[in-house]
Structure 1
Amino acid sequence: MIPVLTVSLLSITAVIIFTRIDYSRSVLLLSLFVVPVVTYTEFKLRQHLQTGRYAVIPFGFYQELIRLNPSKFYALEKPALTAPDTVGIIVDSNEQLPAEWQQFIAAELSKDTPVMDSVAAYESISGKSPLHHYGELAGHELLPSQAYLTAKRLLESSLILASAPITLPFIVIVAIAVKLESKGPAFFVQRRIGKGGREFSMYKIRSMRTDSEVNGAQFAGEDDPRITRIGKFIRKMRIDELPQFLNILKGDMALIGPRPEQAAFVREFEKVIPLYSFRHIVRPGITGWAQVTHGYAADEDETREKLAHDFYYVKNLSVWLDLDIVFKTIKTMLTGFGAR
């Protein structure tokens, strides 16, 4: 769902424009930008400043939580709260609990003690979804809000068209620099897999040598020797992805979403990684949750880890999560620190 705050601001703006009430255009535009950012910042601060520990009921999916953050979660030995700093209870909602544990949960709920599902707690702390927890996935509403996806597509397309007078000349300048440094085309076109498992041609400014895939598709590491000098810079700043604005306008991609993989990799991953195609529920993006929280994947194990982050994004897709990705991407571009 699009947050009520955003809808309210847009509604007020529409009323002001159509009723022709005197207003300052600059103040109105500034408020449309500042208010959501301030609200988002407050939301992140509240998350960061939360104190206390959660009691975990020791059945089903719970050991992963303890390993994830032993100072935040502790396992109960009996159906009773023992730690005075306990702020909530975690339980695997897919488990059939013994009667005494069910009575314990009911009693704590009557005292207004928060009770959270173990998978939801794991996701909120780790930013990824457990790939092996099929029961939770099957019972979850997997399809994102179509209203939000439509609004997101309209907003992204508008931003790209509005920025075209700046981005187009910049792309040309970078392309010339690439041509001057090494022989070969300035742009690189590669077949990738998008929404619904459909193939499309993805555009990039070339950042590697022209013979980089002479032996077939390969993973690209952060310090890959195939990357040129200019290529290293434009990859770090995400400049090589700018031609994908055309992919967004064509409907192949989005600004934010799981990164599209090469067809050869997808075929291999689908054989060994359950539910891999789940990431194809939404359009792939130029930047995404897995990129800003995990970084490059150089093998199958790292791909599984990135996939867990992709699952989290698809299941929790919202304007707040997209804003979080935008801020993390900007931070990485400006400082050079953070996941890639």
Structure 2
Amino acid sequence: MAKRLFDVLAAGIGLLVLAPLLLLIAAWVRLDSPGPVLFRQERVGRHGRPFLIHKFRTMRVEPGPLITIGQDPRITRSGAWLRRSKCDELPQLWDVLRGAMSLVGPRPEVPRYVALYPPALRDQVLAVRPGITDPAALAFSHEAELLAAAGDPEREYVEVILPAKLALSARYAAEASLATDLRLILQTLGRLLGRQLTR
């Protein structure tokens, strides 16, 4: 109950405070390339229920792989900045407010990759709401670069990165508390601020 109340208050305040920035980003995305402002994709949520995740669109609207590899040619000019700053994730505050996500929780995957989860870990990870950040998101913030360096990016993701992320997410789900969430939020904000200051 305390976690959900915190999520609602923080997401609601965040959407109100960031409203001018969200409008500016939406206009930039719209003017930068043809297509919708928001990217919507089916992900697997709590207890295995599917939901649509919302992000600012960072790529041109064309077919491509589910994973983003390095300097993907589909990435737009606005999308490159949004990805670096992680501002493309801001619309997920709405997903938190409506109850599909939490501020902190295992990052939600597409059904194709959730089908590869070992049953025991699947049940543990999907027992909690997915989140905007978690230990796996922090540990693999450079995931696109790792995939770009791999000879077979899809295989690297499925056999190396996904199991490592899943183990971190399962550990979070087993140990989660409001104090843990606050620490991860501060770590995430610190990481993002440090990234901006070093550019």
- TM category (shorter chain) comes to 0.7 to 0.9
List alignment gaps of at least 5 residues for structure 2.
148-156
Q: Secondary structure at the match of 1:261?
A: coil
Residues in 2 aligned to 1:275 and 1:308: alpha-carbon distance in whole angstroms: 11
Q: Secondary structure at the match of 1:275?
A: helix
Shift of the alpha carbon at 1:230?
Answer: 1.6
List alignment gaps of at least 5 residues for structure 1.
1-149
Larger Rg: 1
Residues in 1 aligned to 2:38 and 2:138: alpha-carbon distance in whole angstroms: 25
Report the equivalent of 2:170.
311
Shift of the alpha carbon at 1:222?
Answer: 4.6
Residues in 2 aligned to 1:228 and 1:254: alpha-carbon distance in whole angstroms: 28
Are 1:280 and 2:131 an aligned pair? no
Shift of the alpha carbon at 1:328?
Answer: 1.7
Shift of the alpha carbon at 1:174?
Answer: 0.1
Identity of aligned residues (%): 35
Report the equivalent of 2:151.
none
Aligned residues of 2:15 and 2:93 also touching (Cα < 8 A): no
Q: Deviations over 1:293-325 (max 9, x none)?
A: 233274111110111111110111123321221
Report the equivalent of 1:218.
66
Output the TM-score relative to the length of structure 2.
0.83
Residues in 2 aligned to 1:253 and 1:165: alpha-carbon distance in whole angstroms: 18
CA RMSD of aligned residues (A): 1.9
Of 234, 248, 251 in structure 1, the residue corresponding to residue 82 of structure 2 is: 234
Report the equivalent of 2:140.
294
What letter is aligned with 1:292? L
What letter is aligned with 2:182? L
Q: 1:240 to 1:191 in 2, by over 3 A?
A: same
Report the equivalent of 2:193.
334
Q: Secondary structure at the match of 2:18?
A: helix
Higher-RCO chain (CA-CA 8 Å, sequence separation at least 6): 2
What letter is aligned with 1:335? G
What letter is aligned with 2:173? V
What letter is aligned with 2:35? G
Aligned residues of 2:14 and 2:93 also touching (Cα < 8 A): no
Report the equivalent of 1:184.
35
Q: Deviations over 1:211-239 (max 9, x none)?
A: 1xx25x52123533322222122122221
Q: 1:276 to 1:226 in 2, by over 3 A?
A: farther
Q: Secondary structure at the match of 1:336?
A: helix
Residues in 2 aligned to 1:313 and 1:161: alpha-carbon distance in whole angstroms: 24
Report the equivalent of 1:169.
20
My pick for the range that moved more, 294-303 or 199-208, is 294-303
Residues in 2 aligned to 1:159 and 1:302: alpha-carbon distance in whole angstroms: 30
Report the equivalent of 1:158.
9
What letter is aligned with 1:164? L
Of 47, 54, 71 in structure 2, the residue corresponding to residue 203 of structure 1 is: 54
What letter is aligned with 2:120? L
Report the equivalent of 2:152.
none
Shift of the alpha carbon at 1:276?
Answer: 4.0
Q: 1:291 to 1:222 in 2, by over 3 A?
A: farther
Shift of the alpha carbon at 1:158?
Answer: 1.0
Are 1:320 and 2:179 an aligned pair? yes
Residues in 1 aligned to 2:91 and 2:167: alpha-carbon distance in whole angstroms: 28
What letter is aligned with 1:169? P
